[in-house]
Each structure stands twice: as structure tokens, then as C-alpha cells.
A and B are shown apart, each in its own frame.
Chain A
Amino acid sequence: MPPINETRTGTTGHPPIIEIDGISKSFGAFKVLDQLSFNVAPGEKLALIGPSGSGKTTILRILMTLEGIDSGDIRVAGENLYQMQKNGGLQPADENHLHKMRAQIGMVFQLFNLFPHKCVLDNVTLAPMLTKNTPRKQAEEQAMQLLEMVGLANKAKSMPSQLSGGQKQRVAIARALALQPKIMLFDEVTSALDPELVEEVLNVLWRLSEETDMTMLLVTHEMGFAHEFADRVLFFDRGKIVEDGKPDEIFRNPKQERTQAFLKKIIAAGHRV
């Protein structure tokens, strides 16, 4: 296990795998992210919590290059995400640079975003075959292993429309893992599921954390899960990180008033933290 405690203070032997340095982002007049900075250590499991509109999902979307940033710097594995070295200077990233950077990052979406016209197996094999030139046979073997891991090997030939929400989300996780990313981003992956289907998806995350040393960033409203699962929790509000600490500190002894108010509301709504 990487030395999680030290990385928070930035005195680790391992350089951070994600460095976010003073980024800001606005949608029109609305400032979603305001001079935000934090680092993530390799292998760290980071939960991003906070009220809706606080910017936590935007962070994931920016890391996946689905949104650009207005200012600031992001480095992934030491390399600038949105800029590249060229002709002795920094230039805006071109498609090739983004392609190289995206290869290290996988993302799972709230609404699964499976390809409805492809069967489960093809959903998982397509990316390695297209982006890594993996031969079909090898891609399929690897996909079957991943489907095995998420408990859906028997659904390989099913179409996404024949699956439940929880099954779709597990396929989406297998699909993202097929590219063997170093970093996985989970964007409210259980929010769209019926309550009885949440657990099967969370179990996959547990399994993933036991069997790999992947860095994981989760935006979640499952506070109980975040508490048990994460190494570290960031509480977001209005585009800023209000509190950053170990799950026990954040959930049992929140120091900031806004964190306390948020957790109180969550508990009042009947959620376990």
C-alpha cells in the first residue's frame, strides 16, 4: 500500500499521480471551480462529497478531458494534461497529447453510457481493439476475465437493453477497466440505481480495491460507503474544498461548519454515514 498519510502533506517518496494546481472553471457567469488545488497519491482512494453544484463532478469531467479549464494547471503522472512541450515551449494540447493522457484514465458514468447497439462483450472489447490494436481473441479473453470479476460472464452476449441498471453499471466498469488505466473516475455510479441494486455495484468497487492498486476518485452520495471505502475524503462546497481529511475525521468530527451542516442534512434524510 502506498503511504497515504504522508502524501496528504506532500512529503512522500512517491510523487503524486494527480496534481491539481489552482484551477478555475466557469459555466457562463456561474463559477463551478474556484482556484482549486489538491494532490492525489498513487493508489489512493479518494471520495469527493458535497452538495450538488459544488463542482465535484466537474473535477472528474475535467480529468477525463470532457471539459476544459479556464485557468490553472493539472498534471497526471507528472505530465501536463492540457498543455504539451513543443518547440521548447508549452502549447495547448493537441489530439495526440490528449490521446496519450486519456490512456491512463478510465471513467464510469452515472448513466452508464453503454453502447446500445453492441452486445456486452463488444462493449468491453471495442476500446482495446481500437486504441491498443489488441487482437480480437486476446481482447475477448481479457473481457471475459473482467466480466467474470464483475459477475456478468454469463451475460456476455446480451444486449445492454436486456440488463438491469446494476448490471449495466457493472458492464460499464468492466469496459473502463479493459484499457487498464492507472486512474479510475467514478461519477455517482450508484445514483441512478434502484436501492436494491446499489450494493452489487459497490461490491465490485470493493473487489477492485482489493485486487488492484489503482488510484480511484469517487464522486458519491453514499456516505456510508465513502466512510468505509475511501482513504481520504474531500468535502466540496461552491467550487472550493472546504475540508480534506481521513473519513473518520470528516464524518465523525467535521471541523468546518459547512461540512457539519451538510452531514446533518444527509443524516436527517435517513442516510447512514
Chain B
Amino acid sequence: MGQWAGYLQLILEGALVTIKLTLMGSVLALIMAFIAGLGRISRFRAVRALATTYIEFFRGTSIFVQLFWAYFVLPLFGFSLTPLQAGVLALGLNVGAYGAEVVRGAIKSIGREQYEACIALNFNRWQSLRHIILPQAFVLMLPTFGNNAIELLKASAVVSLISLSDMTFQAQVVRAQTGSTLMPFLTILVLYFLMSSVISAAIRGLERYLTRGLDGVRS
């Protein structure tokens, strides 16, 4: 049993890398989602085109390919990234592209009457967005953002392919050293599930917090 403690240690170190990747990737994804999502509804055609290109490109190619580009191809153009940087970049840009559509959809779903009230109260476009539309739309984005964050957590396993020692990578190391598949993969199965449960609970809590006092306004 003593040897398992050492191997568990290895997997927990990997879990830390996975958590780091997920957190940093989610932050980048959130930023990209808002930039591209707002870009999609911009008044300026060029901004809309740029946002659409980003979204379609990152949704339309696999995260695996994007990761290899970030880690192996970009250095050929003079951008060298550490495995962690490449992982965060690929995960953040990829999930951000999905999030952008969530941002756009939620903003579009806020009723016209809210925009009209903003005009009647003489808010400019930015003030309307910042104080009236986004706070209401953000609550609508949350459940899907939670899904996206969980997707990102699970997709983060792909970084083991560029030799980043995340949880999945470490499980494979343990498997190679011990010959046992069950123990390492049962362990990370449970750990992935726990991590995604934390994300779900956090999103639910945030949603409850943001909708207090809104009873009867939306479900």
C-alpha cells in the first residue's frame, strides 16, 4: 500500500496542473467570449467580420490541432511558448469561441423594451450595455458558461500530448510504472468528477446570488 501513496502523490501533482490549466483557460475563455461576443453585435462591419472569423475558425478546427499549432508550429514563426502557456492559449481560445455565441445569444434575448427604456432615459450605447443589458444577460449566460468550463476541464487532458504533466499524463505515467490501469484511472475519474462538481456548484451559487430579488421576473 505504501507505494500507492507515492503514486497518488504523482497524480495529485497532476491534478494541480489540471486545476491551474482550467482556471487560467477559463479566464482567457471568458475574456475572449466577451470580446468576440460583443464584437459580433458591433455596429462596425469589420469588427463583426473579425469576431465571426475567430469564432468559426476555433469552433471549426479541433482543439488537438490548435494545441499542436500553439506548441509546435508557432515557434517556427518565432513565438515559443511553454507547454502550460500553449495549453492555456489553445483551451482559452477554443472554449472562448463557444462562449462568444453564448454572450451574443444572451444579449440578444434581452427584450427590446429594456433598450427602449435606456434610450428614453438618454443612456448612451455603452451605458445601456454596461448597466442594464449585460447585468441581466450575464445571469442567462451562467448555466452555459458552467457547461463550457466543465468542457474545458475535460478537454484539458489533451495537453498531456505536448508533455505537460497534467492529471491524465500522470495517470499514464503511473500506469506505465505499475502496470495497473484500474487504480490510476479510477483515481482520476473520481478527481475529474469532483472538479466538475465544484464548477457546477460554484455556478449554481453565483446564479442564485445574482438572481436574488428577481423572483417572478424570469425562471
Q: A113-B113, A116-B214, A161-B216 are in contact. Are A95 and B135 (CB under 8 A)?
A: no
* The 7 A-B residue pairs with the shortest CB-CB distance in the complex, in nearest-first order: A113-B117, A159-B213, A127-B121, A107-B120, A116-B217, A113-B113, A102-B122
A161 to B124 CA separation, bound complex (whole angstroms): 26
> Do residues A130 and B131 form an inter-chain contact, with CB atoms below 8 A?
yes
- Residue of A66, A103, A127, A131 ringed by the most chain B CB atoms within 10 A: A127
Chain B residues whose C-beta falls within 8 Å of the C-beta of A109 in the assembled complex: 113, 116-117, 120
Whether A247 is near chain B, meaning CB under 8 Å from some CB there, is no
Q: Could you say which interface size class chain A belongs to?
A: 20 to 34
B16 within 8 A of A: no
A259 to chain B, nearest CB (A): 30
A115 at the interface (CB under 8 A from B): yes
The chain A residue with its CB closest to the CB of B127 is A130
Asked whether A66 and B116 contact (CB < 8 A) given A99-B124, A116-B136, the answer is yes
Q: A145 interface residue, CB < 8 Å from B?
A: no
Give A65 to B118 CA distance when docked, in angstroms.
Answer: 12
State how many angstroms separate the Cβ of B138 from the closest Cβ of chain A.
Answer: 10
With A and B bound together, what is the CA distance between A162 and B217 in angstroms?
A: 10
B127 / chain A contacts, CB cutoff of 8 Å: 130-131
A176 contacts the other chain (Cβ, under 8 Å)? yes
| A50 CB within 8 Å of chain B | no
Find out whether the CB atom of A106 lies under 8 angstroms from the CB atom of B120. Answer: yes
Q: What are the residues of chain A within 8 A of B124 when measuring CB–CB? A: 95, 99
A59 sits at the interface (CB 8 A)? no
* A175 interfacial contact with B, CB 8 Å: yes
Docked-complex contact B117 and A99, CB < 8 angstroms: no
Min distance, Cβ A174 to any Cβ of chain B, angstroms: 12
Residues of A near B131 (CB, < 8 A) are: 126, 130
Question: Can you pick out 15 interface pairs between chain A and chain B where the beta carbons lie within 8 Å of each other?
Answer: A64-B120, A66-B120, A106-B120, A109-B117, A109-B120, A113-B116, A113-B120, A115-B132, A117-B136, A127-B122, A127-B123, A130-B127, A130-B131, A159-B213, A176-B120
